[in-house]
């Protein structure tokens, strides 16, 4: 009997296939599943979230929280002006009775405005300096009121919590940090993409309210265009950061503004002069 050690045949125990192929296939497949999951969950939780009573929001973000955690300006003149402007706009927006708007003026050079739970709207000093007419400012405020009317803060919070928790559980059970991280990144990208729809919704509501209040929509979109020209894209929360697709948003809003405005001789309302 002859005994031999023949040369080991290659590619039986392992594959010489380029691992990139497997990588791309796996990443695409898993991301697709995650995306479907996120979209479905988001839709479902947001359906439920709009039935959460508004009073609950006050428990999540009490007024005190804003007062304690933000550098609020004590310029009551500007705060009162912003509040009255917001209330005037809100009259045209059919806010549910339970919703109580609270406008805060923030001591920050950053050009930003955002809406939060409990009807809270925060306007920065930087924004007030940046806008050139009341119409521009009104559009930004109306946009934030639009978010509040549609319960976007509570919807985002709810779906964010549900998706975050689920992904964390799945991610945690994967015994591999980088794969878990990829899962989380994939889901947050999908979620981000989805919130653009909310921005457009807020834009539309805002333009209708502006039209009712001033009788025209002149100046509303100027904020966008000038912001883009200066490429001042703030990094914080709502008004600009979640809008990667700035251009389509401007075009959409412009189109709507044009159909609403037929009074070409209308003029812009100036901002009041503050002491």
Partner 1 sequence: MEFIIFLTLLALGYGFGRVIEKRHFRYIFKREDELKNILLIPTKKLPETLQSDRYENQFVEGSVVISVDYFKRFLGGLRSIVGGRIRSYETLIERARREAIIRMKDQAASYGGTVIFNCKFETASISKGRRNSIGSVEVYAYGTAIVVKKTHEVQA
By the criterion CB under 8 A, which residues form the site for partner 1?
3-5, 7-8, 13-15, 17, 19-20, 22-23, 26-27, 29-30, 174-182, 185
Minimum CB separation from partner 1 for residue 168, in Å?
A: 15
CA distance 84 to 236: 25
Pairing mode, if any, of strands 120-124 and 113-115?
antiparallel
For the bound state, the minimum distance from the C-beta of residue 164 to partner 1, rounded and expressed in Å, comes to 16
Question: Contact at 8 Å (CB) between 184 and 30?
Answer: no
14 or 274: CB nearest partner 1: 14
Phi, psi (degrees; rounded to nearest 5) at 122: -115, 125
Nearer Cβ to partner 1 (8/264): 8
User: Minimum Å distance from CB 19 to partner 1?
Assistant: 5
Name which of 60, 45, 20 is nearest 191 in CA terms.
45
In the complex, minimum distance from the CB of residue 166 to partner 1, in angstroms, rounded to a whole number: 14
Q: Taking a C-beta distance cutoff of 8 angstroms, is the pair 166, 41 a contact? A: yes
Give whichever of 21 and 59 is closer to partner 1, judged by the CB atom. 21
Nearest residue to 120 via CA among 196, 66, 71, 50: 66
Nearer to partner 1, 26 or 165 (CB): 26
User: In angstroms, how far apart are the furthest CA atoms of the chain?
Assistant: 108
52/189 with CB nearer partner 1 = 189
Q: How far is the CB of 37 from partner 1 (least distance, A)?
A: 13
Q: Supply the minimum distance, in Å, between the C-beta of residue 156 and partner 1.
A: 21
Q: Extract the tokens encoding 150.
A: 């549609």
- 17 or 94: CB nearest partner 1: 17
d(CA 138, CA 206): 9
């Amino acid at each position: 009997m002859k005994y031999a050690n023949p040369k080991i045949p290659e590619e039986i125990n392992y594959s010489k296939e380029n691992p990139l192929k497997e990588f791309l296939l796996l990443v695409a497949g898993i991301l697709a599943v995650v995306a479907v999951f996120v979209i479905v969950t988001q839709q479902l939780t947001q359906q439920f979230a709009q039935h959460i009573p508004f009073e609950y929001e006050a428990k999540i973000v009490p007024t005190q929280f804003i007062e304690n955690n933000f550098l609020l300006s004590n310029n009551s003149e500007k705060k009162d002006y912003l509040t009255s402007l917001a209330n005037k706009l809100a009259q045209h927006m059919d806010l549910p009775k339970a919703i109580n708007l609270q406008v805060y003026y923030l001591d920050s050079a950053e050009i930003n405005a955002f809406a939060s739970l409990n009807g809270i709207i925060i306007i920065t000093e930087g924004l007030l300096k940046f806008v050139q007419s009341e119409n521009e400012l009104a559009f930004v405020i109306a946009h934030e009121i639009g978010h509040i009317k549609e319960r976007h803060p509570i919807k985002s919070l709810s779906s964010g919590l549900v998706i975050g928790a689920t992904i964390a559980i799945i991610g945690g059970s994967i015994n591999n940090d980088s794969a878990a991280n990829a899962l989380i990144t994939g889901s947050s990208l999908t979620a981000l993409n989805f919130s653009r729809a909310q921005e457009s919704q807020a834009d539309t509501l805002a333009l209708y309210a502006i039209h009712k209040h001033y009788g025209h929509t002149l100046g509303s979109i100027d904020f966008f265009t000038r912001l883009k020209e200066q490429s001042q894209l703030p990094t914080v929360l709502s008004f600009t950061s979640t809008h990667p697709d700035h251009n389509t948003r401007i075009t959409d809003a412009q189109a709507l503004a044009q159909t609403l405005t037929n009074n070409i001789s209308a003029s812009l309302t100036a901002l009041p002069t503050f002491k």
